[in-house]
Amino acid sequence: MIISPWYHEIMNKLEDFSDDINKCSKCGLCQSVCPVYKETGNDCAVSRGKFVMLDGVLKGDLKLNKNINKYLDLCLKCGKCTDFCPSGIDVCKIFETAKYEYANKTILGKFIFFLESKLVFGNFINFFKLITKPFRKSIKGKTAKCLKVIYFKGCANNLCPRTDIYLKKIFENSDIQIIEKDFDCCGLPFLSSGNLERFEQVKKHNLKMLDCDFDYILTDCASCESTLKQYMNAKFINIGELINLLNIKFKFPKPVKVTFHKPCHLENDDFLIPLLNNCENVKYIQMNDYDSCCGFGGEFSIKNRKISKAISNRKAENILKTKAEYVITTCPGCLLGLQQGLLGKKNTPKVCSLVDFLNKSI
Ligand code: SF4
Ligand code: SF4
């Protein structure tokens, strides 16, 4: 891969984070929130241990090699340690930079960056956007004063136009305009793999898409929203919040019990209870640790199969205790993590997105 000098100008190097790494007081508080540490008890799984290794790299005592990269990969990118760190260290940013530097030194790393390129991954998504276009439904406002939202679909919804149909059903009687834009991926998979150049590319493209009048950016994936917020200075609203804002009510044909998994990247779930209170025949049962990680974490589930499955299993046990018929969430990645945990178990609930669940109403 040719690295353009432009990227080097705007991107940090690992050595630029030397002060941040040294800000780590080794208090160990990150251990109490890290799902990987809780599962493995391995200090190298959590930020503190990784910082000790990266400090060694910066001092020249250690090499940024395969072993250190293995520990950088031992991270769900859930961001819980960043939120909790009393020293205010932007943990994920440091790991991403270290991964970028390592990947650029290896053939495998460069090959993965090639697969994630606009040419391969970008065109793969574009192909699906093209073939699913006839099934997509646009939503036009009824009046000039209508609420205008730009819908950031995300890659999962670009592959499957089902969400567009559900959105049309939910919002068809509301005075709302849902604006379609040709967004690229939010960039989260590229941050996870350390492909910072590709991240900068999608960021630049996505920012150009905000060239019209709008009130909010609408999302239905917590991970996309948290990534976009890193570089878009705009007001965001998720589908649950939008439904509450428009005071839309739902009625289910028969009584159903539902539980909710809060994705790590979902900042705020205040919308949930008011929304479910507006759903006739729906009983909400909160599971234990409803906000604990599902264990998926994109490439984490491939690179750390056993640990990922163990974290998902723990989640599944809490889900099963509720005896709910549905477990809902607001992140396509979490849907996979929940399914992974429930796989092979008896009397499991249906796993579905919030929008998918609401579509079952009459
Ligand atoms: S919480 Fe922050 S300061 Fe404390 S050990 Fe973890 S990374 Fe270091
Ligand atoms: S981002 Fe999550 S998984 Fe990674 S070190 Fe921090 S708490 Fe652990």
Question: Nearest residue CA, atom 4 of ligand 2?
Answer: 75
pLDDT level of residue 292 (50, 70, 90 thresholds): very high
Distance (Å) from CA 72 to ligand 2 centroid: 10
Does residue 137 carry a pLDDT above 80?
Answer: no
pLDDT, mean of residues 10-30: 89
Long-range own/partner contacts, residues 309-317 (CB < 8 A, 24 or more apart): 309/340, 309/341, 310/39, 311/35, 311/36, 311/39, 311/76, 311/337, 312/337, 312/338, 312/340, 312/341, 313/341, 314/39, 314/341, 315/261, 315/289, 315/341, 316/341, 316/342, 316/345, 316/348
Most confident of 95-99, 120-124, 309-313: 309-313
| Atom number of ligand 2 nearest to Cα 47 | 5
φ, ψ at 71 (rounded to 5°): -75, -30
> Right CATH number for 5-111 from 3.20.20.70, 1.10.150.120, 1.10.1060.10, 1.20.140.10?
1.10.1060.10
Does residue 324 carry a pLDDT above 70?
Answer: yes
Question: Nearest residue CA, atom 3 of ligand 1?
Answer: 24
| Atom number of ligand 1 nearest to Cα 26 | 5
In the predicted model, what is the mean pLDDT of the chain? 91
Q: Tell how far CA 79 is from the center of its chain.
A: 11
Question: Nearest residue CA, atom 6 of ligand 2?
Answer: 81
Question: Probe ligand 1: pick from 33, 87, 93, max atoms within 8 Å of CB?
Answer: 87
Does residue 325 carry a pLDDT above 60?
Answer: yes
CB 7 within 8 A of CB 113: no
| Atom number of ligand 1 nearest to Cα 46 | 6
Task: Tell me the CATH class for 130-243.
Answer: alpha beta
Distance (Å) from CA 338 to ligand 2 centroid: 19
CB 217 within 8 A of CB 149: yes
Identify the pLDDT of residue 10.
55
State what percent of residues in the chain have pLDDT above 70: 97
**Gap between the Cα atoms of 348 and 216, Å rounded:** 36
Does residue 2 carry a pLDDT above 60?
Answer: no
Same CATH fold assignment for domains 130-243 and 249-358: yes
State what percent of residues in the chain have pLDDT above 90: 75
Does residue 231 carry a pLDDT above 90?
Answer: yes
Say which amino acid occupies 130: L
Indicate the domain borders of the chain: 5-111, 130-243, 249-358
- Kindly report, residue by residue over 141-177, the tens digit of the pLDDT: 888 889 999 999 888 888 877 788 888 889 988 999 9
Torsion, Cα of 41, 338, 256, 170 (10° steps): 130
Which range is least confidently modeled, 10-14, 255-259, 286-290, 335-339?
A: 10-14
Nearest Cα to Cα of residue 261 among 342, 347, 152: 342
Find the ligand nearest to 34 CA: 2
Residues with beta carbon inside 6 Å of ligand 1?
A: 24-30, 47-48, 81, 85-87, 89
Distance (Å) from CA 147 to ligand 1 centroid: 43
Residues with beta carbon inside 6 Å of ligand 2?
A: 33-36, 46-47, 75-81, 91-92
**Gap between the Cα atoms of 176 and 239, Å rounded:** 13
Does residue 203 carry a pLDDT above 80?
Answer: yes
Residue 50 corresponds to which tokens in the numbers above? 């990784």
**Gap between the Cα atoms of 335 and 298, Å rounded:** 11
Identify the pLDDT of residue 139.
82
CA 272 to each of CA 39, 186, 260, 327: distance values in angstroms, whole numbers, following the listed order: 29, 24, 9, 13
The 3-state DSSP composition of the chain as helix, strand, coil percent (nearest 5) reads 50, 10, 35
Which range is least confidently modeled, 47-51, 137-141, 174-178, 247-251?
A: 137-141
| Atom number of ligand 1 nearest to Cα 28 | 5
pLDDT, mean of residues 313-318: 97
Question: Nearest residue CA, atom 2 of ligand 1?
Answer: 85
Distance (Å) from CA 280 to ligand 2 centroid: 38
CA 141 to each of CA 59, 148, 295: distance values in angstroms, whole numbers, following the listed order: 59, 8, 40
| Atom number of ligand 1 nearest to Cα 31 | 6
| Atom number of ligand 2 nearest to Cα 264 | 2
Question: Nearest residue CA, atom 7 of ligand 2?
Answer: 34
pLDDT level of residue 9 (50, 70, 90 thresholds): very low
Identify the pLDDT of residue 8.
46
According to DSSP, the residues that pair with 250 across neighbouring strands are: 279
Question: Nearest residue CA, atom 8 of ligand 2?
Answer: 34
| Atom number of ligand 1 nearest to Cα 81 | 1
Does residue 353 carry a pLDDT above 50?
Answer: yes
Identify the pLDDT of residue 205.
95
According to DSSP, the residues that pair with 328 across neighbouring strands are: 260, 352
Burial class (CB in 10 A: 0-12, 13-18, 19+), 188: buried
Identify the pLDDT of residue 162.
78
Of the CA atoms within 13 Å of residue 214, those in its CB half-sphere come to: 21
Structural domain 249-358, CATH architecture = 3-Layer(aba) Sandwich (3.40)
pLDDT, mean of residues 275-284: 96
Distance (Å) from CA 98 to ligand 2 centroid: 15
Q: Which pTM value belongs to this model?
A: 0.91
Does residue 3 carry a pLDDT above 70?
Answer: no
